[in-house]
Amino acid sequence: MESDRGHVVAKGFLALLASQIGTRLVTFTINLLIARHLTPDAYGLSSVQFHLLTTTALFISREGFRRGCLRFGASAAASGTAVKRDGAASGDVKRDDGDPDGADTDGGGGGGGVDDRSVLRVAVLTVPLGLLVTVAVCAVALWRHDVAVAAAAAAAAAAGSDSGGGGVREPEVPYYREAVVLHGVAAVLELLAEPFYILASVHLMFGPRVAVEFLSTLTKSLVTLGLLTSRQTLPRLAAALPPALRPHLQPLLATAAATAAALPPALLFSAAQLAMAAVVAAGYWALGLRLLAARSRSGSAKLGSARGGERRGRGHGSGAGDGSGSESQRPGGGGGGGWLAPWTPLERRVLGTSAIFTLQAVEKLALAEGSKLVLASLQSAVNQGVYGLVSNLGSLVVRTLFQPLEEAAFAAFSTWGAEAKAAEAAAMTHGSATAAAVSEPQPGAGKAAAEEPPTRGSSQRLASLARALSPMVKAVAVLGLAAAAFGPSYSYVLLRLVYGVRWSETEAPAVLAAYSVYVLLLALNGIGEAFVHAVLDARGLQQSNALLLVFSGAHLAVCVALVRQYGALGLVAADGANMVLRIAYSAWCIRRYFRPLSSFSLRRDLLPAPATLVAFALAAAAAAVSNRLLLGTTAETAGAAAAAVLPQRVFLRRAAAHVAVGVVLMAGLLGLMARTERAVLRQVLEMRRRGRGRGRQGGAGGGAGGGGVDGRREGGDVDGKGGKED
């Protein structure tokens, strides 16, 4: 039923959210240790080049089918009531055959009536498509590498003939070609499990998906860390062995340690990617086979029940013996066709939708990863590693803190927007009926009487929506201001304490300082676009997506210019310029949407109080002065010079004082905001209290709206980034 589906969606969202936070905290800790053992150029190889390779191959191959095949679940939900009514009439009994995550044998929370055979017949096309895409992507990567090596060799030869030294080193990454091939094999291995992933998604089996994704990510991180640290850990393990086992295992462990120590970074990352792909393939194959076996047993039971009812009907002369009812209850779902039978209209429709989404996936990939491609093409591996480290560190805060708030805001805005449109439609209908009932001699009076109530009601709904938008925007603005105020002054301290001198000596502190300001722009853009995409109609969404494409084209052009000149710092600046354009467009849409509400003001209703803004500016200045006086660095000069000047013991003592200054400044800001932003805090608490009460009263009923929200994002957010960098 629809309420069951809504319950599963809500439960699955919470599970995925908890998994998102838990997975990122665990993997962040492990990746922190990995970064401390890697040089910046090796880290850039993994976080930028190999990331682009696998992301491109997998995203183009499967994203369209992942979104398109969800239409099977929507179609089954629409006909679920009729299916269950027919099953009850024929004596079927709903059973639980132990499906993962509580998914029943009729499809669970979202798959009642889903034909697994139809889902798999469409989803299996990801494998041949993925094979072609992976081969093409790997070929392009190898070609680009060969061109770069040849160009560097020519430059080295020219430099050698001029100076006689030949001191220019070729950018030849050891075993790069083998690593590209192995990453391609890992991508194909993941794609072999994609049909079962799609099947689990159609049945809303969030729990097993969470487990597989967590285990695969953890496996990749642990394999990488294990291979990096095996040179130190394996000899210690050999020394800790019992004396009886030491003569037998110590030579083996010593050989393994020597082999791992000699393993080039490219092959090391390939081994970790293969391990991750193996876990993904094994997990989803086990999940898919278990689901098919459970549904096969359910189908056999239903077939026996139908045949028993048929025999009883014949014995009583009912004449129900054509077998058409039992045919639809075969294991695997409806229809009497086999795996090679002609495609049904639903299958063809889903395939067409998947093709459209695949084309959109190419567009989304260009928007999300185009800047990284520019960086990989124009900058050294060291700069790529710096940007990879900073973006991973910054995205941890953005995705963990802002993404759940943005998704909740989108859901709330979509609900309010739908209610407002429904109320306006009802008011217009009522007004038309009233106008028709008015006598002919007074058309103007009747029209005025018919239009006045909708106008008043519309203003009230706009005021309510503005009161909901205001605290959300102000909340993310305050969080972003905190990052922008303190990030630049504490980026060097954070990197040196967490990642070590190897990273604090690079351009990373300056890039992280710029990224801290970029976080403020990400926060404002995320909540602004969530509102715009939730309340715009289909035409408005098309215009928005078209304008975002224009912004993204300009963004790539600016990226090429700034990255060539300033490296990773230029890339962050280009991303920031893109966010400013998108924020300006969202602000224009918001102002236009609330134009009938004369009391609405962007500055007053969406920005923090002027006293709060001034306080953050003063705190940022004080933190910068503290950084300059105690550590002798600024955002521009943080790096090798500061690290060489300050010994570690002196640095720790001064860093402690610098952090204490930051704590005092933050405490002062919190005290001030408790007075200046008291109304915002009261609104947030009131919204949270109402949300909890609404969830207790009608959690199941709200699930249907959740499904609608998913559909809106699916069709409307062509940008794919949701206001954040991927």
Mean pLDDT of 31-58: 88
pLDDT tens track for 83-134: 444 444 444 434 333 344 444 434 433 444 667 888 888 889 999 999 999 9
338/146: higher pLDDT: 146
Mean pLDDT of 3-9: 47
Query: Given a cut of 90, is residue 641 above it in pLDDT?
Result: no
713/366: higher pLDDT: 366
Mean pLDDT of 147-158: 78
pLDDT tens track for 165-195: 444 444 578 889 999 999 999 999 999 999 9
| Residue 694, amino acid | R
Residue 60: burial class (beta carbons within 10 Å; 0-12, 13-18, 19+): buried
**Other C-beta atoms lying within 10 Å of the C-beta of residue 316:** 9
Report percent pLDDT > 70 for the chain.
Answer: 63
The pTM of the full predicted model, rounded to 2 decimals, is: 0.69
Alpha-carbon distance of 319 to 306, in angstroms, equals: 14
Cβ–Cβ under 8 Å, residues 676 and 612? yes
Q: Say what angle helices 443-498 and 508-535 make with each other, to 10 degrees.
A: 160
Cβ–Cβ under 8 Å, residues 546 and 357? no
Cβ–Cβ under 8 Å, residues 591 and 457? no
311/485: higher pLDDT: 485
52 phi/psi in degrees, rounded to 5: -60, -40
Query: Given a cut of 60, is residue 723 above it in pLDDT?
Result: no
- Mean of the per-residue pLDDT values of the chain: 74
**Other C-beta atoms lying within 10 Å of the C-beta of residue 565:** 11
Query: Given a cut of 90, is residue 616 above it in pLDDT?
Result: yes
Give the highest mean pLDDT range of 103-112, 451-460, 463-472.
463-472
DSSP 399: I
| Residue 165, amino acid | G
234/109: higher pLDDT: 234
Q: What angle do CA 504, 266, 144 make, to 5 degrees?
A: 100
Alpha helices (runs of H) in 328-402, residue ranges in sequence order? 345-378, 381-397
Assigned token pair, 644 = 């060489």
> Band of the pLDDT at 669, cuts 50, 70, 90?
very high
Alpha-carbon distance of 377 to 88, in angstroms, equals: 62
Alpha-carbon distance of 210 to 244, in angstroms, equals: 43
Cβ–Cβ under 8 Å, residues 723 and 581? no
- Residue 725, Ramachandran bin (φ over 0: left; ψ between -120 and 50: alpha; else beta): beta
pLDDT of res. 574: 92
Assigned token pair, 253 = 């462990």
Question: Which residues have CB under 8 Å from 328's CB, separation 6+?
Answer: 334, 335, 336
Alpha-carbon distance of 654 to 516, in angstroms, equals: 22
Give the highest mean pLDDT range of 93-102, 544-553, 694-703.
544-553
Mean pLDDT of 357-385: 83
Alpha-carbon distance of 531 to 277, in angstroms, equals: 37
Alpha-carbon distance of 622 to 468, in angstroms, equals: 34
**Other C-beta atoms lying within 10 Å of the C-beta of residue 592:** 9
Greatest Cα pair distance, the chain, in angstroms, is 111
Query: Given a cut of 80, is residue 229 above it in pLDDT?
Result: yes
Mean pLDDT of 272-277: 95
pLDDT tens track for 498-508: 888 888 888 89
Alpha-carbon distance of 468 to 597, in angstroms, equals: 14
Give the highest mean pLDDT range of 33-47, 342-356, 572-586, 587-601.
572-586
Alpha helices (runs of H) in 240-264, residue ranges in sequence order? 246-261
Give the highest mean pLDDT range of 38-42, 316-320, 462-466.
38-42
Lowest mean pLDDT among 56-70, 563-577, 635-649, 695-709: 695-709
Q: Where are the domains of the chain?
A: 2-161+171-309+347-378, 381-436+447-716
pLDDT of res. 637: 52
Lowest mean pLDDT among 178-182, 275-279, 707-711: 707-711
DSSP 344: P
Query: Given a cut of 80, is residue 141 above it in pLDDT?
Result: yes
